[in-house]
């Protein structure tokens, strides 16, 4: 039985990979001639709404969900954009063995009682939410079993029945389940977890104790090298394909919950609408910093239709409860600035007004929902304080957030240059609503521990007739970033393990991303520098990379390009190329130690610019860091 199950799972992953494997090899750096960034689903801006997990874990029921939905409507949160009402783990009863159809736990969702004891349907539930102007979300797992069956073993709402009946994940039922959830039941959003391909190995005691079918782990959260990245991606791609088939109108949102594993930071944007960049958040300040850091440097991988997800909001709990409003506002502001989904995780039926005031801050929500979709970029970075700047769709308008990460007061000085502006800048505090001017070249703010300040900034752009590419990350698709072997990101904050004591050596970096493309920094977090010249603006990326840039409305491209001084590969040359809708417009060659070279191109009638950096006759396998200094689109 076990051998047969393992073989079936291996064949499933192999089948999912076969379509890709069968394609003939092609030059990955060849220009596509058009924008290839994924646009499926309905997530032009980050999804907003509510999820049951942080409020109730598996102790969820219809009364709690509908009570929350009523608050969303009555409070005005729905009208601000909080429209998704998502059920997490705990809703299922079993999988019917006669035909594999999933059964709802009608004891906690009584409206699902239709057609007798052996049939149930969420359609009355979703119809009710839709009638309220809301959308409905559901939860599942990419494997055979869900996370609660491994970690919430005392829950009263675990799946029941035989081994087969308790296999309520998508494994072996992708098309069937997705059609049921969307075409039949009317859901609009799905979160797909990955415990079923991670923690159900035959050596796990709970697998034997509860007689689960064992599955060889495809994900090793402690080791990227031991994770079968192609197989994990292929399984999630199966779900994407099924969603497209069951939603011909494209009205769905697809959330990938693989906790930053399997190098999802690189491929999540091509498969789903949002993807977790880290393990679970908890209501602790240090854990919030951990999940935030896992997404905060990846602005170039997010944009309209696809978003970095550092996990759901924990405003209202623990370090972010009503007694810690400074921390709660900071948590909410950070998520808004980096275009994270704003998914509330609190029992709204009992929410105090102080918390409601945070979620309902229209100005902060507008930052998150700005149509440009540009995730904030770090203008200043340290372990103590940070400055993030976000370009808004209003001409000459940006948002800036000052963050004190530490336990003591901190002074933070803001300059127009950090905003990529010149002259005087008008600032509006988006919490206090006070206005002030940034004059005389700088202004210094004193922030209390864990405090942030968020401003809307209006002034003259440094480029009066254009935009630096690092200002508009949402208009860039990293088609290929040059990373050959995924490497854990060492600059994500390391907190003490929230699920255990300090009995081991600590939690090590495990999320891929080190070496990925960066705005205003190199892939390895150094200043952009070519032959001693530092560029405050630009894109840092590895050689053998290709970027796509939306060029509509601009007439000219320019950059100063070269091999970055921080590169470990000092031997190989790089060919820099600029393509417009597939046609070569300009190119040059550079080597380490050479001054940055000007590369420019006329963009008349061009819709998509492609920037290629290709190593020429490579002799070394060391990473070759290149800089597109002052890269800009000009009118």
Among candidate residues 331, 311, 337, the one with its CA nearest the CA of residue 54: 311
The kind and range of the H/E element at 481 are none
**CB atoms near residue 566 (< 10 Å):** 17
**What is the Cα–Cα distance from 373 to 585, expressed in whole angstroms?**
28
Residue 195: strand, helix, or coil: helix
Residue 531 annotated as catalytic: no
Residue 389, helix vs strand vs coil: strand
β 528-530/533-535 pair status: antiparallel
CA separation for the pair 523, 546 (Å, rounded) = 14
Residue 634 has a CB neighbour count (10 Å cut-off) of 15
Which residues fall within 8 angstroms of residue 256, CB to CB, at 6 or more apart? 192, 236, 264, 268, 271, 272, 274, 275, 276
Residue 125 CB neighbour total at 10 angstroms = 25
27/336 Cα distance (integer angstroms)? 38
| φ, ψ at 191 (rounded to 5°) | -105, 125
Do 96 and 103 form a contact (C-beta atoms < 8 A)?
Answer: yes
- Among residues 364, 318, 312, 334, which one has the least CA distance to residue 50? 312
Token readout for 565 is: 């001084």
Place of tokens 């789903």: 272
| CA distance linking residue 559 with residue 613, whole number of Å | 13
Q: How far apart (Å, rounded) are the C-alpha atoms in residues 590 and 500?
A: 50
Q: Which helix (H) or strand (E) holds 280?
A: none
Kindly list the distances between the CA atom of residue 606 and the CA atoms of 183, 198, 633, in Å, as whole numbers in the listed order.
39, 45, 12
* C-beta separation of 330 from 347 below 8 A: no
Please indicate whether residue 280 is annotated as part of the active site: yes
What residue has token string 């393992």? 6
**Catalytic pick among 61, 89, 188, 193:** 193
DSSP state of 285: H
Task: Determine which one of 280, 347, 381, 429 is catalytic.
Answer: 280
Q: How far apart are CA 305 and CA 341, in angstroms?
A: 12
The neighbouring-strand residues paired with 613 are: 545, 576
Active site residues: 193, 280
């Amino acid at each position: 039985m076990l051998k047969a199950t393992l073989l079936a799972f291996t064949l499933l992953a192999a089948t999912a990979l076969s379509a890709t494997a069968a394609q003939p090899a092609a030059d990955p750096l060849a220009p596509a001639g058009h924008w290839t960034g994924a646009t499926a689903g309905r997530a032009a801006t980050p999804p907003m709404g509510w999820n049951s997990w942080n409020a109730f874990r598996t102790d969820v029921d219809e009364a709690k969900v509908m009570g929350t939905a009523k608050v969303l409507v009555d409070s005005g949160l729905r009208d601000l954009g909080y429209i998704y009402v998502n059920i997490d783990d705990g809703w299922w009863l079993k999988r019917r063995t006669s035909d594999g159809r999933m059964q709802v736990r009608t004891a906690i969702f009584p409206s699902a009682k239709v057609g007798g004891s052996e049939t149930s349907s969420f359609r009355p539930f979703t119809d009710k939410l839709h009638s309220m102007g809301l959308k409905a979300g559901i939860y599942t797992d990419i494997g055979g079993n869900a996370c609660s069956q491994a970690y919430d073993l005392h829950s009263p709402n675990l799946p029941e029945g035989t081994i087969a009946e308790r296999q309520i994940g998508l494994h072996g039922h992708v098309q069937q389940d997705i059609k049921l959830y969307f075409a039949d039941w009317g859901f609009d959003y799905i979160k797909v977890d990955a415990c079923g391909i991670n923690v159900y190995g035959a050596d796990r005691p709970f697998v034997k104790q509860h007689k689960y079918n064992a599955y060889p782990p495809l994900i090793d959260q402690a080791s990227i090298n031991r994770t079968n990245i192609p197989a994990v991606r292929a399984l999630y791609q199966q779900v994407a394909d099924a969603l497209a088939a069951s939603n011909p109108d494209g009205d769905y949102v697809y959330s990938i919950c693989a906790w930053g594993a399997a190098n999802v930071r690189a491929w999540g944007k091509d498969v789903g609408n949002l993807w977790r960049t880290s393990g679970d958040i908890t209501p602790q300040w240090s854990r919030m910093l951990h999940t935030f850091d896992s997404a905060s440097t990846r602005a170039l991988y997010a944009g309209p239709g696809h978003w970095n997800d550092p996990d759901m909001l924990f405003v209202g709990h623990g370090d972010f409860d009503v007694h810690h409003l400074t921390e709660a506002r900071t948590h909410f502001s950070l998520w808004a600035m980096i275009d994270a989904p704003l998914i509330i995780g609190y029992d709204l039926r009992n929410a105090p007004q102080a918390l409601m005031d945070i979620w309902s801050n229209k100005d902060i929500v507008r930052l998150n929902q700005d149509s440009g979709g540009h995730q904030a970029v770090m203008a200043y970075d340290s372990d103590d304080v940070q400055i993030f700047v976000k370009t808004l769709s209003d001409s000459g308008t940006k948002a800036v957030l000052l963050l004190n990460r530490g336990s003591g007061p901190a002074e933070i000085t803001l300059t127009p240059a950090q905003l990529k502006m010149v002259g005087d800048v008008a600032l509006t505090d988006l919490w206090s609503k006070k206005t002030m001017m940034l004059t005389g070249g700088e202004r210094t703010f004193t922030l209390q521990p864990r405090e942030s300040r968020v401003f809307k900034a209006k002034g003259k752009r440094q480029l009066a007739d254009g935009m630096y590419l690092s200002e508009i990350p949402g208009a860039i698709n990293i088609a290929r970033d040059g990373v050959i072997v995924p490497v854990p990101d060492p600059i994500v904050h390391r907190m003490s393990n929230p699920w255990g004591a300090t009995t081991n050596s600590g939690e090590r970096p495990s999320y891929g991303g080190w070496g990925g493309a960066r705005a205003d920094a190199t892939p390895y977090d150094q200043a952009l520098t070519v032959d001693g010249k530092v560029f405050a603006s630009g894109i840092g990326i590895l050689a053998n990379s290709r970027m796509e840039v939306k060029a509509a409305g601009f007439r000219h491209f320019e950059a100063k390009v070269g091999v970055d001084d921080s590169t470990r590969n000092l031997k190989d040359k790089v060919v820099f190329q600029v393509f417009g809708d597939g046609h070569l417009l300009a190119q040059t060659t550079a080597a380490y130690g050479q001054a940055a070279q000007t590369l420019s191109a006329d963009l008349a009638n061009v819709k998509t610019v492609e920037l290629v950096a290709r190593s020429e006759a490579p002799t070394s396998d060391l990473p070759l860091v290149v800089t597109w200094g002052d890269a800009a689109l000009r009118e």
